Structure 1
Amino acid sequence: MSEVPEISELRLAEIRALAPDALRRVIRQNRFNGPTAGCAPGRLQGNLAILPEALASDFLRFCQQNPKPCPLIGVSEPGNPCIPSLGRDLDIRTDLGGYRVFRGDAERHESVRDLSTVWRDDLVTFVLGCSFSFEDAILRAGIPIAHIAQDRNVPMYVTNRETTTCGSFGGPVVVSMRAFPAEDAIQAVLLSDRYRLAHGAPVHLGDPSEIGIADLLNPDFGDAPTLRPGDVPVFWACGVTPQMAIRRTRPELAITHEPGHMLVTDLSADAAEFTIGRVGPGAAGASS
C-alpha cells in the first residue's frame, strides 16, 4: 500500500504525484476534493453512474450502444461498493471528491461529499472511462493542456448530437474541450485515438456551432476556457453524457460524480488503448 505524507496540507503538485491508492485515501480523508485532471499520471480514471438494480440492464445496453461517450470499464455487484478489478482498498462511497444525488428530479440534485447516508443494497455501480486518462500521453509529448496548467476544471458542453436510446435512457452527447495550436491539435487527435476506453479520438474539431455550442466561453459544466489566438478547439465525447441520460430517465434514486471529480483506478492508462472485452460485475476486461 502506498504511503501518504503525514502533513495536514498537501500541495497540489504532491497530490497529483500520489499513487492511485494513496490518492483515494487522501480523498476519503477529505484532504482533497478538487478535480482530478493531472492526478496519478499514467492511471485510468473513470466517470461514475450508480443506479437501482431494476434499471441496470437498460443502462448497460445504453453504454454498449454508445461506446464513444460511455466506454464501460467496470460494473459492481448490486450493493457492493467495491470493484476489486479497478483498485485495491477502493470504496465507491468515499473515494471521489464529490457526488451528485438525484431523487426523481432531473433539474435538482444534492451535492454530497460521501455516500454513507444514501447507500442501498440494490445499487449497481458503473464506471466509465474518462478523457483525463489520455491527457498524460499528450503532456508526455510536450503539448501543454491549458486547464491542467491553470489548475482549473475542463470545460464541458451539451451538443446537438444525440445518443442511441435504450429503454428510458437517451439524450444529447456532452463533450469536453481542449484548445491547441493547429499542429498540436493534430498530434492530440492521434494520441487520443489510441485510448479507446478513454473516449478515443475527438468527435469534432473547429467551429463549435456545428455541434450546437453557441458560446465557447460559457460551458455547461466545468470552467471557462482560456483561448489564445490561433487555437483550434478540439472536442471529445464526455462522461457527463450518461449523467444527462440518467437525468432524462428521472429514476427515484441515481448517483453520479461531480463533473471533473473522477474515480482514479489502479489500472494503467495504457489499458484504455484497447476496446472492452468482457462486461459484467467487476469487469474491466480488454481485448485488442
Structure 2
Amino acid sequence: MPQTQSPQELRQAIRRGDFSGNTSGYCPGFVQCNLAILPADWAADFLRFCQLNPRPCPLLAMSAAPGDTGLTRLGNIDLRSDVPRYRLFEYGEFKGEVTDLGELWRDDLVSFALGCSFSFEEALIADGLEVRNISQGVNVPMYRTNIDCDPAGPFAGKMVVSMRPFRAADAIRAIQICTRFPAVHGAPVHLGDPAEIGIADISRPDFGDPVSIHPGEMPVFWACGVTPQVALEAAKPPFAITHAPGHMLVTDLRNSQLAVL
C-alpha cells in the first residue's frame, strides 16, 4: 500500500478491512493520534490525567458528547472502524485486539485523541535525520519506565517512552526540532543510559519492535501515548478501548498546524 495516500484513502482502506498494520510512515504531513475510549463516568478523571501529564498525553480532541462516533476537528472519522487495530480492557486487564468496534460500541463512551510521536518523525526526516524504525520498516520500540505520572483520581502509573537512536550531534538537532511540536510529545524526556529511567534491556521493548543502535549512537527517549494504557491498568475501569501500539488514528489535521515558533 503506498505511503503517500491521503488520510481519507487510508481510513477507507481500514474500514474495508484492507489494512490493519502499523501506521508509522503513512500519510506524510498529517497528524496521527493515540486513542483512549472510556465510559462517561470515568471521562472527567481521565481528562484531568491528560491535563496533568501533557508530555505523554497531549490532548488534541475529545468527544463533544457521550456516544459520539466522530471527532469533527480531526476529519470525517468513524471511531468504530478507522483505527487499524484496537485493544480491549476490562477492569484494567487486556482482553484482546479487534479491528472493528461496531458490535462493542456503547452510547456512554467518550473518546480522547492524543498526539503521537509519528507526527514529529516527518520533521526529523525532513531535516535529514534517519528515523531508524522507519528506515528498518518496523514499529517504533516502546518501553515502560520508572518515571511517575501525576495521578488524577484512579488514573496513575509510570510513563511509557518511545526510542530512536542518534549520534550526539543529531540528538541535539532532534531536540531542537521536536521542541516545536509540544502537541505531539515535544522534546525528549531522556537520552543516554536506559537504566536511569528503569529500562533493563534496550533490546527488548515492552511494545513495538527492537531497532539497531549503531556504534557511536545513543538512545533518545520521548514520552509516548501508550502511557494511558498503563494508567488504565492502574485505574481498572470496567471497560476501556485504546489503539494497539503503533496502529494509530490517522487524521486530516496537518502536522504543520501543530508546530510552534
* TM-score, normalising length: structure 2: 0.97
CA RMSD in angstroms comes to: 1.0
Name whichever of 46-55 and 29-38 sits farther off: 29-38
Q: 56, 71, 83: which is aligned to 2:71?
A: 83
Q: Secondary structure at the match of 1:85?
A: helix
Give the secondary structure class of the aligned counterpart of 1:138: helix
One-letter code aligned to 1:244: V
1:35 to 9, 22, 36: 22
Give 1:70's aligned residue. Answer: 57
2:86 is matched by which residue type in structure 1?
Answer: Y
Counterpart in the other structure of 1:169: 155
Structure 1 unaligned regions, length at least 5: 1-9, 275-287
Residues 19-40 of structure 1, C-alpha deviations (whole Å, 9 max, x = no match): 1111111111111111111111
Determine the structure 2 residue equivalent to 1:59: 46
For residues 233-252 of structure 1, give each alpha carbon's deviation from its aligned partner in whole angstroms, at most 9, with x where no partner exists.
10000000011101111111
Task: Report the residue type matching 2:82 in the other structure.
Answer: D
Corresponding residue SS for 1:127: strand
Match 1:197 to one of 156, 162, 183: 183
Measure, in 2, the Cα distance between the counterparts of 1:222 and 1:128: 18
Distance 2:201 2:190 in 1: 16
- The one-letter amino acid paired with 2:145 is T
Match in the other structure for 1:94: 81
Deviations 1:2-61 (A, max 9, x none): xxxxxxxx3xxx1x1111111111111111111111111111110000000000000001
Q: For 2:165 and 2:176, locate their aligned partners in 1 and report how far apart those are by CA, in whole Å.
A: 15
Alignment counterpart, residue 266 of structure 1, candidates 246, 252, 256: 252
For residues 150-207 of structure 1, give each alpha carbon's deviation from its aligned partner in whole angstroms, at most 9, with x where no partner exists. Answer: 1100000000010000000010000000001222111111111100100000000111
Q: 1:250 aligns with which of 220, 236, 240?
A: 236
| Alpha carbons 1:203, 1:237 under 8 Å: kept | yes
CA distance in 1 between partners of 2:75 and 2:127 (Å): 27
Residues in 1 aligned to 2:28 and 2:125: alpha-carbon distance in whole angstroms: 10
* SS in structure 1 of the partner of residue 73 of structure 2: coil
Partner of 1:20: 7
- State the partner residue of 1:110: 96
Matched residues in 2 for 1:208 and 1:251: separation? 31
Q: Structure 1 residue 143: deviation in Å?
A: 1.1
Query: Aligned ranges for residues 154-233 of structure 1 at < 5 Å?
Result: 154-233=140-219
1: CA distance, partners of 2:53 / 2:116:
14
SS in 1 for 2:155: coil
Are the aligned partners of 1:75 and 1:126 in contact in 2 as well (CA < 8 Å)? yes
Kindly, what percent of the aligned residue pairs are identical? 53
Q: Using the TM superposition, name which of 46-55 and 174-183 deviates more.
A: 174-183
Deviation at 1:253, TM superposition (A): 0.5
Counterpart CA distance in 1 for 2:39 and 2:203 is: 36
8 Å CA contact retained: 2:93, 2:236:
no
The DSSP-based 3-state class of the residue aligned with 1:17 is: coil
Whether contact under 8 Å (1:44, 1:271) holds in the other structure is no
Q: Report the 3-state secondary structure (helix = DSSP H, G, I; strand = E; otherwise coil) of the residue aligned with 1:109.
A: strand
